[in-house]
Each structure stands twice: as C-alpha cells, then as structure tokens.
Chain A
Amino acid sequence: MRVVLRSAIGRLRLGRDQRELALLYVACLVGALLVSLLLIEVNGSSWTRAVNALVDGAFQNPGRWGETLRRTAPLLVVAVGSVVATKAGIINIGQEGQLLVGAMGGAFILTLVQPGNPLMLVLGIALGAAAGALWAGLAGALWYWRRIPIVLSTLLLVYLSSQMAAFTLTRGELLLNVVPGEPNRLLQSAEVAPGSRLGIIEVFGNRFPLSVPVALAMALGFGWLLSRTTWGFRLKVLGLNPRTAQRAGVSDVRYGMSAILVSGATAGMAGAMMLAGGESQYKFSSGFSSSVGWDGLLVALVARNSPLLAVPVAVVFAALRSGSTFLSVAGIEAVLVDVVRALLVVALFIPPAISDLRRKRRALASLTERT
C-alpha cells in the first residue's frame, strides 16, 4: 500500500511549490471549517446537525442533487462572464444588478406573453442578456467617456437596479400581477408562460432545467474563446498591459467595451434563465437575484479566472445554497451559509498568495546567496 502510494506521488512529480500549495489549501480549508463549526457551537446549535442538514439538502435526500445542479447554472454563467471582464483588466463587480435587470427584462416577455412558445423563450432570454449588457455597458460608457471607475459605477448600479425592479412590481401595466378582487400583498409578477419555460431534464428523479447544460457549454465555449481565439488573446494583452495593447493596435475602448458587454450579457442571461428555469416558482420579484450575482463573481475569483475551474467551484457554492434550505428546517439560521461561504472564499484566496510570496522570497534568497 505504502509503496503504491509513494509511487503514485512520485509519478505526480509534485515540485516543492506544488506540495506546499496543496498543503496550504488543506490547512486553510480546515481552518475555515473549524471557524465555521465553532460559530455554530457558539450560536448554541450542534455542528453535526448543521453538517448533516447541509449534506442532506445538497446531495443526499432524493432529488436534491438536481436542485444543486439547478442552482449551479446561473452561478457558472455569471462566473464565466466575470472571467471575461477580469481577463481584460476590467473590474466589473455589479453582476448582482446586471442579473436582476436581466431577469426583469426577461420577465417582460416571459411572463407577459401568454401562453408562450419556444420562440418567446429565446426572445425572453435574449432580452435578458441585452438588458444585462446595457446595464454593464452603462458603467463601461461612463468609464470610457468620463473616467468614472467601473468598480464604483457597477456597484452603484446594483443599488439602482433593485429599486428599478421594485418599481416595475408596483404597477399593473408593467410586471405586477394584479389578481382581480384580491389585495396585492405579494409584489410579484405573473408566472412564466407554460410554453416559454426551459425544458426540464430528469435523471434518477433529479430534475434540473436545460440551463445546466447551457451553462456547461458556455463555460467550455468561453474557455476556448479566451485561450484559442484572437479576441481572447487581445483581451489578455489588454488586461496584462494596456500600453502594450495600444502599441499592438488593440483598441482599449473596443475590446474593453466588448469584455464588459459580454460580462453584463452573461449575467443578464443568467437572470433570465433562472426565471425561465423555475426560480421562485417562475415568478419575478424584487428580491429575485438573491445574491446569485455576488456569488457568481466570487466563484470567478476563487476559480482564479479559469472558466473550467469555475465549474467545480460553482457546484460547491450551489451545494451550500441548496443545503441552506435544510438548515432552517433543522433550526439553524440559514444566514450561516453566507458566513461559511465567505470564510471559504477567504480560505481559498490565501494559499496561492502565500505560495507566491514564499516562492519570490526563495528566489530572492538564492539570488543574494550567489552574489
């Protein structure tokens, strides 16, 4: 057994840096886990119950991994878009708003055109993507026109978008579903037309919408676009050194804008697909985005801007989300998941940074030894 293990490790040929990195990852993840468990105990509940509830909710109970997959799709799509923007050196952190605006745009076709058909589904998602692109493009335009930092404008637009969504849900002639004879207590739209819903795939009793394969295809597609096409290469040049890009004839405005539009469009598309895929009973409401945009951005950051790595990370984040619904049943506050997720992200940020630092120190040390 030992020999087998040793030869397996030998075959992997992990260098000193990689071994160190792996060790750091394990240490940091264990650390984050310990802090989370401690928090649960401090809050007066048992951590075994919490972990059980999370695992049951995310995978173990019948039909739950389908639910996890359903929640993976929008996270992955948002993350892929964020990767595109980050590659071009643009810091778009307003995906939450772009997603909400996308879902709102989609709702104008998906919930208002009854009884709907597949063409309306496509149109609805396209309108969602366009709305998201517009929302992000606004920030892009403000940057290239007046040099207002994109970080800030995208963030401010998040707060604007939630008010805008709330506004469309106060008017019967916009999205609000007015039920005759009933007071409008629930500010939400009508259901998505039955004909315009995303198809449901069923595997062993696990049901998830078509957005899951679409998201996976987008991750692969953008992975290819970024690493194998001229467009992707130019984005990378722009992100690594804008001055070099300019000398090489890569237009800052054109490629930068294309990247931010793509990231907005994907976020918007994610929102529209969430709506068509059955999120909150196919109804649009002002809290519809429920932090999926923030999470998607974090997925991209944790995956270190690789669309392919974003897939497993998105699954983990989605599992935390679908598991959290079981937490409240077990009598533990569901916001715990926010804390765990944030700790997890911090834990995943640390190892590559430390390993970088140590590598540089070693290089520096060997340099001074020689001289």
Chain B
Amino acid sequence: MLGFLGNVLTDGPLYESTFRLAAVLAFAAVGEWVAERAGTINISVEAMLLGGHFGAAIAFTASPNFVLAIAVGGMVGVSVAALQAWLSHYLTADQFGIGLTLNILLLGLAAFLQPRFDLDTRLAGVTSIPLLADIPVLGPALFGQRWPMYVIYALVPLTWWLVMRTNWGLEVRAVGEDPQAADVSGIRVNARRRQAILYAGLLSGIGGAVYLFGQVGRFESGNIGGKGIIAIAAVIFGGWTLRGAVAGCLLFGYVDALRLNLPTILGYSLNSQLLASLPFLATIVVMLLFAKHTRQPVALARPFVRGLK
C-alpha cells in the first residue's frame, strides 16, 4: 500500500500527463472564470474548445504554422463565443439552451465537415527550459513540455491582472455581483458580459488549439468530450477565485492522468468504466466537500433586463 502511494506520488510521467491534461482544462477554466465573474455560465465552452481544436486543425493543414493555427483556433473560439454572447446577453435567450445548442452544433459541424478536409496535423516540438526542467519529479512536468503548453503560464497572471487590477475588470465583477447597481452607475451591463464571454471564447479556442498541438496531435471530433464541462466544474470548485480554479484544473487533471497511467503504475488495469467516470465522480465529491464554503457571484446565471430584479 505504501509502495503504491509512493509510486502514485513520485511517478514522473504521471505528473507530465497531469500537467498536459490540466493545461487544456485551465485555458477553458480561466476564460470561464472571467465569464462567471461577470454573472454568466457558458456551457458552450465545450463548443469553444472544440471550435478551436477544429479551426486550428484546418488552419494547420492549409499552412503548417503553429502560431498562426493557434491564433485561428482562438478566433474560432471567439466566433462561437460571439454567438453565445449575442444570443443570450443581447437578445436574452436562455443561456443554457443556447450553450447546449452550440455544443450540439459544433460537434455536428466538426463531424460533418471533417471528411471534407484532408486534415494533416502533428505535435509541436518539445522545448525543455534549461535548469528548471532538471528539477526531480516535477521539473519535466512543468518545464519539459511541448512549447504551446507554456502559453498558459502567461495567460493566468494576465487574466488575473485584467480582472483584478483594471477598470474593465472591476466593471466585469460589478456586473456579476449587482447588475442593477452597475447599470445605475453607468456601466453597460450586457456589453461587459458579452466582452467577458468573448474573452472566455478566445482562451478556450486557444486551449483547444494547444490541446491539438501539445497533446493529441490529430483531430478527432470526440477529443474534447466533456472537458469544457469539467472546466466549468473547476471554476465552481475553486469558489470563483482564479487560484482555486487553477487548483481545480490540476486536481481534475491529476485524476484524469491517474486514469490513464494507473495500469502502468499498478501493473494491472482497474475497471475501465470506473476509471472513465473518475473525473466526473471526483468533481461531484469535491464540490460536495467544498461548495458550501464558497461565495458565488450574486447575479450568477441571472440574465439582466433593465428594470427587473
């Protein structure tokens, strides 16, 4: 038992795949965190991730340039987000219905259009950061990855600064806590919400692209399968704080990595259905333990219509 625990805690490859799985979650979760601080919930992060994934694959097939393809992925994410934002926070259609529909739409589109393109993608190269990558156990996981993964290191502090230290961020948070008061003080509530969702789309789109070039290498329409939902869970797990959301991503990434790596660590396979449901089960259990100690944005998931409380 102790030996097993030791293996689970010190296995290098386990941490490497933890980081890779957590990174894709983190792109979506960091974006969704901003959107949720503005008082919206976007189930369509799933569609944004998939859009970025697919868009990047098409772009890379057209011209094999990683940076360009990741940018295109981000733009596709933004377009999906624009639909979500316009429909649910300009027209005030039901945000969950729209999110669900967008998920179905993107999944259908990707599956329908995929055979049309002769997709040809590959993994980006590994860039080890000297010295840091030599740290035992965690070094290779954090600093010996394929280079697109490192984008997340820049995005987390940038997002924190944007939301916590700029005027725009203050207004975004105000809109999520008390839209009526924000409206009275001259903030365009739904505009801020739309912008927050667009930001979530940008990050999720980039995340989908990074996932393509940093981990899977080849596009499949089922690749995203539920990652967006887990990212939303990570935001809730983190109690609507950025560091909490990132911690949630690492935890869920660890559970997912455990699922993939347990057979090699243990030497035998556990029940595959149980392992596949582990991330979802863990999400529920973890929320069960921590959800009550957190405070959510007061106006979360409440559409804003002037004059209505």
Chain A residues within CB distance 8 Å of chain B: 39, 42-44, 91, 93, 142, 146-149, 151-153, 155-157, 159-160, 163-164, 166-167, 170, 291, 294, 297-298, 301, 333, 335-339, 341-343, 345-346, 349-350, 352-354, 356-357
Contacts and interface: CB of A to CB of B under 8 A. Distances in A.
Given A152-B232, A163-B273, A44 B116 contact: yes
Interface of B: 41, 43, 83, 87, 90-94, 96-98, 100-102, 104-105, 107-109, 111-113, 115-116, 226, 229, 232-233, 236, 271, 273-274, 276-277, 280-281, 283-284, 287-288, 291-292, 301
A160 B91 CA distance: 34
A159 B226 contact: yes
B274 A163 contact: yes
25 contacts: A44-B116, A91-B301, A93-B96, A147-B292, A148-B236, A148-B284, A151-B301, A152-B229, A156-B229, A156-B283, A160-B277, A160-B281, A166-B273, A298-B104, A335-B108, A336-B112, A338-B104, A338-B105, A339-B112, A346-B98, A346-B105, A349-B101, A353-B87, A353-B91, A356-B91
Contacts of A357: 90-92
B273 A167 contact: yes
B19 to A, nearest CB: 23
Given A156-B280, A333-B111, A342 B93 contact: no
Given A159-B277, A160-B277, A167-B271, A43 B98 contact: no
A312 B13 CA distance: 54
A354 B92 CA distance: 9
Given A148-B291, A353-B91, A356-B92, A335 B277 contact: no
A294 B108 CA distance: 14
Contacts of B105: 338-339, 342-343, 346
A349 B96 CA distance: 12
Contacts of B271: 167
Given A147-B291, A152-B236, A339-B112, A294 B100 contact: yes
Given A342-B102, A349-B98, A155 B229 contact: yes
B102 A43 contact: no
A336 to B, nearest CB: 6
Contact of A345 (B91, B101, B111, B233): B101
A339 B292 contact: no
B104 A294 contact: yes
Nearest to B292: A146
Contacts of A342: 101-102, 104-105, 108
The binding surface of chain B is classed by DSSP as helix
A167 B108 CA distance: 27
The dominant DSSP class at the A interface is: helix
A352 B115 CA distance: 36
A342 B112 CA distance: 13
A155 B279 CA distance: 13
Contacts of A343: 105
Contacts of A42: 113, 116
A297 B98 CA distance: 12
B92 A152 contact: no
Given A147-B292, A346-B105, A155 B276 contact: no
A301 B97 contact: yes
Contacts of A298: 97, 100-101, 104
A339 B276 contact: no
Contacts of B283: 156
A333 B127 CA distance: 41
Nearest to B94: A301
A163 B107 CA distance: 20
Given A147-B291, A155-B43, A349-B93, A163 B229 contact: no
A164 B271 CA distance: 11
Contact of A142 (B104, B273, B281, B288): B288
Contacts of B83: 346
B131 to A, nearest CB: 41
A350 B87 contact: yes
B61 to A, nearest CB: 16
The 7 closest A-B pairs by CB, nearest first: A338-B108, A342-B105, A353-B91, A163-B277, A339-B108, A301-B97, A167-B273
Nearest to B221: A335
A253 B274 CA distance: 32
